[in-house]
């Protein structure tokens, strides 16, 4: 286990706990010591090697043969027998999707499913997103106070996600609850009792995904990305497999909406706590694209991602054995002073903000990044225009304890409706 720079099992390494304490408050700050002194350390509590510096994480993302993504959706917490049995009773068989598939299968599949993500195919969606945001805003703009998460920021991304996927908008509240269960199941540390409850929700989510798939198969010319995947499954079943379809149906609903909902909530929180930046964006909307990137860098919604070493390899001066599991804390990379000048400073004018690793990097980089960016930009365009006097209410922020997905459970904001530049019906 020897590293060049001291023993990787230092006291701080042993004390590292991503499910509570400093990491839950601010994952980047919580790993400042690691970036400075032990950039790659072994966490015995997790059974993972934690990687904290920008260059090391980018090197791992770049080489997905040495660092396989196959553990990306593995359960972080070993599952109790009861929970396993509960999952099995639903026929739960979550398997490879895209994000956790090795080469060469991954690239073949990614290429077969790329069209819908091309910028020219996304552009027409922007005005639909705007209409949706406006409609939700009309409902709250005269109220003076709102929890943005509850009243805007989960529902819009979920609606956009289902529309993009071509999945019928049946029961959004249930889907939201299922998504939270999936996050806890994959990246959380549930107690044995919670495990059982979570297992039942995830099992129901799995069956729901199967039913939706059946319904969609019956409509072969249907719209959206999942319909395209179903057609590809018929044309090239060895590339877009049956198992992929069912696993992806479940995983993508979460990937496409929770990530964006959290990123948007983090963005509003960050901008409203840096009032000068908010006021600048209100005065000059052309600042919005870079402000969005800086928010994704400074307070991203995915804060850590995983890989597994397929051979013994050295990283950041530490020798890793074959099979080493890596937790790459991208939030830490995003605040690494070795790459970003005064990295802990929020600066919407930063010229390399876009270098952040919140969408991953390399051949698995997030396919939905431009959809997420587009939604976040539209949120800002609409809010800075219609509620420039928005302010954050004093509140305690709470987060769902897990290693990877991060966004506040609630985000209370207030404003004086008498000062609204536009009324409910602009
Ligand atoms: C992969 C983050 C939104 C679809 C990923 C990965 C991350 C990520 C970290 C893994 C990258 C890697 O291994 O290098 C995010 C964040 C989002 C977001 C932070 C919002 C702010 C979306 C949306 C969609 C989406 C809206 C779809 C509509 C995907 C897909 C992959 C992926 C399909 C797998 C790509 C592959 O393995 O080839 N995302 N994502 N994501 N994301 Fe996203």
pLDDT, one tens digit per residue, over 315-330 is 999 999 999 999 999 9
Place 295 in a pLDDT band, splitting at 50, 70 and 90: very high
Would you state the pLDDT for residue 1? 45
- pLDDT (mean) for 131-143: 95
Q: Which of 419, 384, 410, 383 is nearest to 134 (CA)?
A: 383
| Residue 216 CA to ligand 1 centre (angstroms) | 23
Beta strands 48-51 and 67-68, pairing class: unpaired
Question: Is residue 140 pLDDT above 50, yes or no?
Answer: yes
Identify whether 410 is part of a domain: no
User: What is the domain count for the chain?
Assistant: 1
* Nearest alpha carbon, ligand 1 atom 25: 368
Query: How far apart are alpha carbons 306 and 254 in whole angstroms?
Result: 17
Query: How far apart are alpha carbons 75 and 149 in whole angstroms?
Result: 26
- Asked whether the beta carbons of 49 and 1 are under 8 A apart, the reply is no
Q: Which of 225, 299, 255 is nearest to 28 (CA)?
A: 299
Token digits for 80?
């109790």
| Residue 366 CA to ligand 1 centre (angstroms) | 3
Beta strands 391-392 and 325-328, pairing class: unpaired
Would you state the pLDDT for residue 48? 97
Identify whether 419 is part of a domain: no
- For 65, counting Cβ atoms within 10 Å of its Cβ (0-12 exposed, 13-18 middle, 19+ buried), the class is exposed
- Asked whether the beta carbons of 240 and 112 are under 8 A apart, the reply is yes
pLDDT by residue (tens digit) across 191-249?
988 999 999 999 999 999 999 999 999 998 999 999 999 999 999 999 999 999 999 99
- Asked whether the beta carbons of 382 and 288 are under 8 A apart, the reply is no
- Helix and strand numbers (H, E) in the chain are 18, 10
Query: How far apart are alpha carbons 28 and 297 in whole angstroms?
Result: 11
Would you state the pLDDT for residue 4? 45
Q: Which of 109, 107, 104, 67 is nearest to 243 (CA)?
A: 109
Percentage above 70 pLDDT, the chain: 97
Ligand 1, pocket residues at CB < 6 Å: 61, 69, 98-99, 110, 161, 164, 255-256, 259-260, 263, 300-302, 305, 358-362, 364-368, 371-372
Q: Which of 329, 342, 370 is nearest to 61 (CA)?
A: 329
- pLDDT (mean) for 55-78: 96
Token digits for 116?
């819908």
Identify whether 103 is part of a domain: yes
Would you state the pLDDT for residue 423? 58
* Nearest alpha carbon, ligand 1 atom 6: 366
Q: State the ipTM, two decimals.
A: 0.99
Q: Which residues of 157-170 are buried (b: 16+ CB within 10 A; e: fewer)?
A: bbbbbbbbbbbeee
Identify whether 420 is part of a domain: no
Beta strands 325-328 and 48-51, pairing class: parallel
Place 420 in a pLDDT band, splitting at 50, 70 and 90: confident
Query: How far apart are alpha carbons 275 and 382 in whole angstroms?
Result: 17
Question: Is residue 15 pLDDT above 90, yes or no?
Answer: yes
* Nearest alpha carbon, ligand 1 atom 41: 368
* Nearest alpha carbon, ligand 1 atom 21: 260
- pLDDT (mean) for 375-396: 97
- Asked whether the beta carbons of 270 and 295 are under 8 A apart, the reply is yes
Dihedral of the alpha carbons of 355, 101, 42, 37, in degrees to the nearest 10:
-10
Question: Is residue 357 pLDDT above 80, yes or no?
Answer: yes
Query: How far apart are alpha carbons 35 and 106 in whole angstroms?
Result: 32
Mutation pick for ligand 1 pocket among 368, 374, 402 (CB with most ligand atoms within 8 Å): 368
Q: What residue numbers bound the domain in which 193 lies? A: 11-400
Mutation pick for ligand 1 pocket among 266, 366, 375 (CB with most ligand atoms within 8 Å): 366
* CATH number for position 190: 1.10.630.10
Place 7 in a pLDDT band, splitting at 50, 70 and 90: low
Compare 84 and 2 and report the one with higher pLDDT: 84
| Residue 369 CA to ligand 1 centre (angstroms) | 6
């Amino acid at each position: 286990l020897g590293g060049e720079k001291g023993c990787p099992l230092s006291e701080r390494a042993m004390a590292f706990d991503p499910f509570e304490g400093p990491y839950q408050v601010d994952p980047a700050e919580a790993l400042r010591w690691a970036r400075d002194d032990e950039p790659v350390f072994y966490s015995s509590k997790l059974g993972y090697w934690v990687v904290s510096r920008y260059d090391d994480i980018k090197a791992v993302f770049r080489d997905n043969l040495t660092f396989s993504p196959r553990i990306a959706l593995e359960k972080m917490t070993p599952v109790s027998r009861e929970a396993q049995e509960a999952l099995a009773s639903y026929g739960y068989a979550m398997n490879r999707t895209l994000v956790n598939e090795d080469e060469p299968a991954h690239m073949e599949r990614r290429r077969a499913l790329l069209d819908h993500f091309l910028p020219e195919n996304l552009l027409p969606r922007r005005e639909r997103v705007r209409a949706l945001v406006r409609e939700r805003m009309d409902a709250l703009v005269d109220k003076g106070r709102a929890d943005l998460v509850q009243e805007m920021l989960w529902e819009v991304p979920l609606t956009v996600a289902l529309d993009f996927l071509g999945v019928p908008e049946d029961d959004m509240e249930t889907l939201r609850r299922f998504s939270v269960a999936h996050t806890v199941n994959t990246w959380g540390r549930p107690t044995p009792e919670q495990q059982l409850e979570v297992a039942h929700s995830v099992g129901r989510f799995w069956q729901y995904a199967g039913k939706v798939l059946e319904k969609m198969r019956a409509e072969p010319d249907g719209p959206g990305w999942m319909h395209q995947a179903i057609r590809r499954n018929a044309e090239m079943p060895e590339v877009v497999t049956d198992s992929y379809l069912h696993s992806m149906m479940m995983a993508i609903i979460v990937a496409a909406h929770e990530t964006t909902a959290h990123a948007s909530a983090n963005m509003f929180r960050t901008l409203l706590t840096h009032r000068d930046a908010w006021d600048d964006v209100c005065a000059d909307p052309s600042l919005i694209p870079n402000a969005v990137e800086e928010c994704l860098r400074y307070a991203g919604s995915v804060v850590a991602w995983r890989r597994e070493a397929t051979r013994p390899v050295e990283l950041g001066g530490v020798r890793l054995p074959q099979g080493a599991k890596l937790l790459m804390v991208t939030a830490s990379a995003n605040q690494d002073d070795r790459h970003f000048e005064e990295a802990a400073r929020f600066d919407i004018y930063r010229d390399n903000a876009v270098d952040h690793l919140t969408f991953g990097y390399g051949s698995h980089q997030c396919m939905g990044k431009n959809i997420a960016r587009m939604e976040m930009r539209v949120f800002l365009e609409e809010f800075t225009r219609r509620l420039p006097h928005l302010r954050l209410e004093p509140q305690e922020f709470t987060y769902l304890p897990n290693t990877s997905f991060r966004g506040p459970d609630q985000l209370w904001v207030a404003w004086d409706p008498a000062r609204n530049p536009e009324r409910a019906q602009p």
